Structure 1
């Protein structure tokens, strides 16, 4: 199974006993939308809802930090997601949050994980079926072992600020990167990590919400000044959209990429960390 699958492919695979479809929609807190309610109103047949707002380390003050292994395993098992399954994740969010779910599943050891190209938007635009309500599942067994090499912490990022040997890629909107917009979380300063590149995650998609591919995708990184030959760390507001450029790099065959899980919500709240404003 490829890492990016088409709506046509998924339509043909629906109902396969080893295939599990996951709705990983999440919204910013002030968006006025309820991801779980929207899922229950309509979702791809058989899809379960992965609550990314709940699947976090509640002991950490930064939002969306990876949960402990036992918590991730427990949540996956309760959703009927088990070892040996093939997972297809999608979303219906401007944050393209399925990339976060893809990264989390892979980081915790899942082998067969794909993103649905175009998400629910494209699926519905093509007139494909949806269903409402909750999906009843059988409890599964999911073995979670976190690949700690997939994650960058604040100390690691501090060590590569202004490094000529690494790239730091920020997936937030350019206005937030520049510090022109107030941060949505209290106590977080505006701006960005010094030396990072601004690559808004929306730049990696076509008008129909499908992923850019090949030369078009590579051109988006190039336009942001990103050297794809260097090891990369991706970042954003809280570690969700940081998974978008990470997945984009993956589509280009690049695997030496870490995700800064704390992202700006951690970095910008720490008075001791260096901060920059203005364009990249």
Structure 2
């Protein structure tokens, strides 16, 4: 990251850019959220919804398999040459998922859905019906994803930073879910040896990423000389945001997402857990 600049400016697009390109034939817009509630009240014209719990996660909060992702991508009208713009509650999760399967033309809208609507930009309650594509996804890029065993093997290793990006209350073990809801048979706390670095402050009130200097200050505890970083949160949304900021805004290599995150780890009976 150069002074005053992100490492990769092109991965973020502003609202005017998106509005100007909404009707480009190769552009696809995807809203990523934990439910359909917000989307159904209104969304960017032409945008499809990816529901984290309904489309991206299985019943054990693990990422769905390749066949399910491929079907989702195809029915979203995404082709190998598509430029895909993500927005909503968890745009970085959509970005990470497509990058996991090798797609290169990916962008994140650098504003919130609320700001977009309040600015009077194209907004609708009509869900589009995209033409289904025949996209054949390649195998996953294991360099950006960490499974539960890889995380467990990394506990206590000085060459790996396990980065917990949840809130203070979640890290201390005061709650399992961010909302405060309990999870049957779930244990609250954090992974032993994890660094706590909440990423709630990464975005401005209008949903844009903070300046390069502010992002640099937020991630200052992550030493440049450190080896691999594995991010985790509750279901992977915030972990993907941290991965995106580290990888694309700061230009750091060797960053992976533990997408199972606490929803998986905290429900497994034998995984080590610390609280406090």
1:90 counterpart = 2:87: yes
Match of 1:55 in 2: 55
User: Shift of the alpha carbon at 1:149?
Assistant: 2.4
**SS state of the match for residue 104, structure 1?**
helix
Structure 2, unmatched stretches of 5+, are 1-8
Name the CA distance, whole Å, in 1 between partners of 2:129 and 2:271: 46
Which residue of the partner structure matches residue 161 of structure 1? 155
- 8 Å Cα contact 2:87/2:112 also seen in 1: yes
Query: Which of 96, 101, 122 is the matching residue for 1:103?
Result: 96
Match of 1:2 in 2: 10
Give 2:197's aligned residue.
Answer: 199
Q: Which runs of 4+ in 1 moved over 6 A?
A: none
Is the Cα–Cα contact under 8 Å of residues 76 and 142 in structure 1 kept in the other structure?
yes
RMSD of aligned residue pairs (Cα, Å): 1.7
- In the other structure, the counterpart of 2:237 is 240
How far is 1:134 from its partner? 1.3
Q: CA contact under 8 A between 2:29 and 2:46: conserved in structure 1?
A: yes
Aligned to 2:141: 147
For 2:136 and 2:197, locate their aligned partners in 1 and report how far apart those are by CA, in whole Å.
Answer: 34
Deviation of 1:237 (Å) = 1.0
d(CA) in 2 for partners of 1:233, 1:273: 17
Counterpart Cα distance in 1 of 2:268 and 2:224: 29
Residue of structure 2 aligned with 1:73, choices 63, 67, 70: 70
Secondary structure, in 3 states, of the residue corresponding to 1:54?
A: helix
Report the equivalent of 2:4: none
Q: Deviations over 1:196-223 (max 9, x none)?
A: 122222121122221113110011112x
1:8–1:131 CA distance, 2 compared to 1 (3 A): same
Per the alignment, residue 114 of structure 2 pairs with 121
Normalised TM-score (structure 1): 0.87
Q: Please give the per-residue CA displacement for 1:22-78, whole angstroms capped at 9, x wherever unaligned.
A: 11122xxxxxxxx324313311111111222222463xx521x22221211111111
1:130 aligns with 2:138: no
Aligned pairs (5 A) from 1:198-217: 198-217=196-215
Equivalent-residue separation in structure 1 for 2:20 and 2:56 (angstroms): 33
For 2:265 and 2:201, the matched residues in 1 are separated by: 24
TM-score of the aligned structures, taking structure 2 as reference length: 0.88
Q: CA deviation at 1:182?
A: 4.6
- Corresponding residue number in structure 2 for 1:173: 167
Aligned length: 261
